[in-house]
Homo-oligomer: A and B are copies of this chain.
């Protein structure tokens, strides 16, 4: 099924408490190479047929307006995957 993948991450200059907790836990378990962890969202929009240019433009607007909170998150990627 054709998809548009939207990736949303917490803004780089904001704390990500869940990510920090995971990083601390991994370091305690001996994974010292992992300096930090950030947890974001990966959202799949499924289409019955290959998305048109209009669908992709609409998906970009949906990603910015609806799937992310621009105060605390960045949309880092919107891509088609068939």
Contacts and interface: CB of A to CB of B under 8 A. Distances in A.
Given A9-B42, A44-B9, A67-B22, A51 B33 contact: yes
A38 interface: yes
This chain: copies in complex: 2
Interface residues of A, number: 31
A55 B67 CA distance: 32
A34 B46 contact: yes
Given A22-B67, A26-B62, A33-B55, A42 B42 contact: yes
Contacts of A44: 9, 19, 37-40
Interface of A: 1, 7-9, 19, 22, 25-26, 31, 33-48, 51, 55, 58, 62, 66-67
